[in-house]
Amino acid sequence: MYAFFNNEFLPAEKTFVHISDLALQRGYGVFDFFKIVEGRIPFMEDYLQRFYQSAEQMQLPVPLPEDPLKEIIFELIKRNDMENAGIKLLLTGGYSADGYTIESPNLVITQHVLPTVSQKVLEEGVKIITHEFRREMPLIKSINYTTGIWLQRSVKEQHAYDVLYHLNGEVTEFPRCNLFIVNNKGEVITPGENVLQGITRKNVLALNGDIAISTGKLTLTDVLDAREAFLTSTTKRIVPIVQVEEQIIGTGRPGQVTRELAKRLLEKENMY
């Protein structure tokens, strides 16, 4: 397996960053992640735009403009001969002499086997737990997942699938996914602020039509009272939520709106 590191393709097992990198020393860096499906990259422009935006907001210059970056991504896919996979773009804080000042970021591009969502999860839905937290810079896809990783033990102990962040009663997102609910009027709503602008979230919002889908402020009570709920991400697409801690959501089974949107999202993805 090959990786791309700054300006060359290297065997992934021989690709290293130095210990002085701010990513390692201080958790400073950004990344993005997208799927290759049969050699195509659905919504590639959206992911690249988010990557450049995250980098800019984090004050990290990307060493390459968009077109050469795209060429490198396709070259990596060709070299690895893997037409179904994930691609991770990682931009670190760079090697820092004093361990605190941003210097030249390192760009690392790696290809990964895509995790799959089990049929059981899609058919039965999942339980989630909640945690009081908000990501420090919600619009930036930062490499810092400290709280999410730290919470993995609680998620496991409580036989949950994921953990929903909330602060002052307002829910935002999961460590790696966005949230949607279907309220008792049949309206689909996702939190509008203090969340990562997920590409899957954007694609679900664009399905707005005969089913009303919008952004808005959501409280924990809204989630508990919802008729349906689901989470979204690039790798998981749409996963139905049927339980929050000990409370059952709706009928306790994946709802009709969730299933319909999952079908439409897949159709949209396959059009690319």
* Site residues, ligand PLP (CB under 6 A): 173, 175-178, 196, 198-201, 232-234
Judged by beta carbon, residue 80 or residue 200, the one nearer ligand PLP is 200
Q: Closest distance between ligand PLP and the C-beta of residue 201, in Å? A: 6
Q: Closest distance between ligand PLP and the C-beta of residue 89, in Å? A: 12
Q: Closest distance between ligand PLP and the C-beta of residue 19, in Å? A: 26
Judged by beta carbon, residue 101 or residue 152, the one nearer ligand PLP is 152
Q: Closest distance between ligand PLP and the C-beta of residue 46, in Å? A: 8
Judged by beta carbon, residue 27 or residue 252, the one nearer ligand PLP is 27
Cα–Cα dist 244/14, whole Å: 43
What pairs with residue 166 in β-bridges? 132, 171
Judged by beta carbon, residue 73 or residue 96, the one nearer ligand PLP is 73
By beta carbon distance, the residue nearest ligand PLP is 198
How is the chain classified by DSSP, letter by letter?
-EEEETTEEEEGGG----TTBHHHHH--EEEEEEEEBTTB-TTHHHHHHHHHHHHHHTT---SS-HHHHHHHHHHHHHHHT-SSEEEEEEEE--B-TTSSS--PPPEEEEEEPPP---HHHHHH-EEEEEEE---SSTTS-BS--HHHHHTHHHHHHTT-SEEEEEETTEE-B-SS-EEEEE-TTS-EEEE-SSS---HHHHHHHTT-SSS-EEEE--BHHHHHT-SEEEEEETTTEEEEEEEETTEEPTTSS--HHHHHHHHHHHHHHHT-
Judged by beta carbon, residue 2 or residue 198, the one nearer ligand PLP is 198
Judged by beta carbon, residue 74 or residue 133, the one nearer ligand PLP is 133
What pairs with residue 179 in β-bridges? 231
Do 188 and 181 form a contact (C-beta atoms < 8 A)? yes
Q: Closest distance between ligand PLP and the C-beta of residue 218, in Å? A: 15
Q: Closest distance between ligand PLP and the C-beta of residue 8, in Å? A: 27
Helix 44-57, helix 66-80: angle, nearest 10: 120
Cα–Cα dist 69/62, whole Å: 10
Judged by beta carbon, residue 146 or residue 247, the one nearer ligand PLP is 146
Judged by beta carbon, residue 96 or residue 190, the one nearer ligand PLP is 190
Q: Closest distance between ligand PLP and the C-beta of residue 31, in Å? A: 9
Q: Closest distance between ligand PLP and the C-beta of residue 135, in Å? A: 6
